[in-house]
Amino acid sequence: MLPPYRSHLSSAIDGNRSNPYSRFFQLATVTPAGYPSNRTLVFRGFLEDDSNSLKIVIDVRSAKVQDIERQAVGEICWYFTETREQFRIQGVLRLVKAQDKDSDLLKARNIAWQELSDAARSQFAWSDPGQPAADQSTFDIEPPDPILPPDTFGLLLLVPQKVDHLKLRSDPHQRCIYQLETDTTWSSQWVNP
């Protein structure tokens, strides 16, 4: 059974489909030093199992991997400009790298790779992200193998535990908080915006 926030989130994704950037959201993590960190990432759909996990693809060389390996918790803030609503999705992060032991997740990682465009795949063959800028020529590369992902490719899953849905179109604004109570049971509570 789908958790109660899922129909609202799916409606928002659907209702904002005409804007390509409606699939972009911001993921906050905490750095090893304890500071907040925040970046825009792309929603790649839901994992096809019962977890309702959101799929994200990341470069395992990027700084956020250190945040995740120290504390595997994140909060997505997803604002939909067309329907004027926000979802704050707090959850557990699960990073699937080439060496993962879970064969189902490795398969999901392969599929996520295959679903990318050549341009998106090429970024995983670029020089180390965050390092002093390499020569321009190192970015002029042939697209990588479209079937087998390179070691730099990670599938990042966010498994929702709490969802805060705010609708700015209503007057007054409407806000509902959904919380995972047991493995499969969600509570919901209308709160003041």
- With H, G, I as helix, E, B as strand and everything else as coil, classify residue 10: helix
Longest dimension (CA), the chain: 54
d(CA 191, CA 193): 6
Nearest-approach distance from CB 147 to a second copy, in angstroms? 24
Q: How far is CA 155 from CA 16, 74, 111, in A?
A: 24, 15, 10
136 or 184: CB nearest a second copy? 136
Nearest CA to 76 among 91, 65, 60? 91
Contacts of residue 71, defined as CB under 8 A and 6 or more positions apart, other chains included, come to: 29, 30
Ramachandran quadrant class, 83 (left: phi over 0; alpha: psi -120 to 50; beta: rest): alpha
Nearest-approach distance from CB 18 to a second copy, in angstroms? 12
Nearest-approach distance from CB 106 to a second copy, in angstroms? 27
Positions that interact with a second copy (CB under 8 A): 19, 21, 24, 26-30, 34-40, 71, 73-77, 79, 81, 86, 88, 90, 123, 126-134, 136, 139, 172, 175, 189-193
110 or 161: CB nearest a second copy? 161
76 or 116: CB nearest a second copy? 76
78 or 113: CB nearest a second copy? 78
Question: What phi, psi does 146 have (nearest 5°)?
Answer: -80, -5
Nearest-approach distance from CB 93 to a second copy, in angstroms? 10
Nearest-approach distance from CB 154 to a second copy, in angstroms? 17
Report which DSSP code applies to 16.
T
148 or 191: CB nearest a second copy? 191
Nearest-approach distance from CB 151 to a second copy, in angstroms? 17
Secondary structure element (H or E) that encloses residue 176, with its range: strand 174-180
79 or 178: CB nearest a second copy? 79
